Amino acid sequence: MRERVIPNRWFTSLLVLGSALLITWTLVLAYRLPAQHTSQHWDLAWVGFDVALAAALGAWGWSIARREPWAPSAAAVVATLLLCDAWFDNVLANGHGEQLEAALEAVLVELPLALFCVWTARHAEQTVEAVRGPFRRRRR
């Protein structure tokens, strides 16, 4: 049986302080940032993000296939990246065509897959068994 690790008070206080500082910084950015911005390497940013998402998906599949104890963590990472992808695709879409495409991708692909990732993270044992079951060699 695994022991449950509970962070001590200083660690918890540090997280709360970090949250308060981030909220303050976000308010400063909301005031200071321009509504429009042109960026160099826009393509590199998106391609890099998609490469990270693909690597996370691959790591998640690998972790399930190998019954790694970090499989739930990999699923949580994939869910987080998918939610970020859906958010930025929709917020940064330019024009009706891009907005429609981003909304459809979010509703039909990214959000359902993110929910599936969260579900598999919560039910890791059942997920591993369901995925590996059909690939087991049958004994005669």
Distance separating alpha carbons of residues 43 and 73, to the nearest angstrom: 28
In the predicted structure, residue 105 carries a pLDDT above the cut 60: yes
Distance separating alpha carbons of residues 132 and 20, to the nearest angstrom: 44
CA angle 114, 90, 73 (to 5 degrees): 25
In the predicted structure, residue 136 carries a pLDDT above the cut 70: no
- What is the DSSP code string of 54-68? HHHHHHHHHHHHTT-
**pTM metric for this prediction:** 0.78
Distance separating alpha carbons of residues 132 and 99, to the nearest angstrom: 38
Q: What is the enclosing helix (H) or strand (E) of 127?
A: helix 124-132
Q: Domain residues of the chain, as ranges? A: 41-135
Confidence class of residue 1 from pLDDT cuts 50, 70 and 90? low
Which DSSP category does 5 fall into? P
Question: What type of residue sits at position 90?
Answer: N
- Average pLDDT over the chain, rounded to whole? 88
pLDDT digits (tens, 9 = 90+) for 113-129: 999 999 988 887 676 66
Tokens of 69: 């104890």
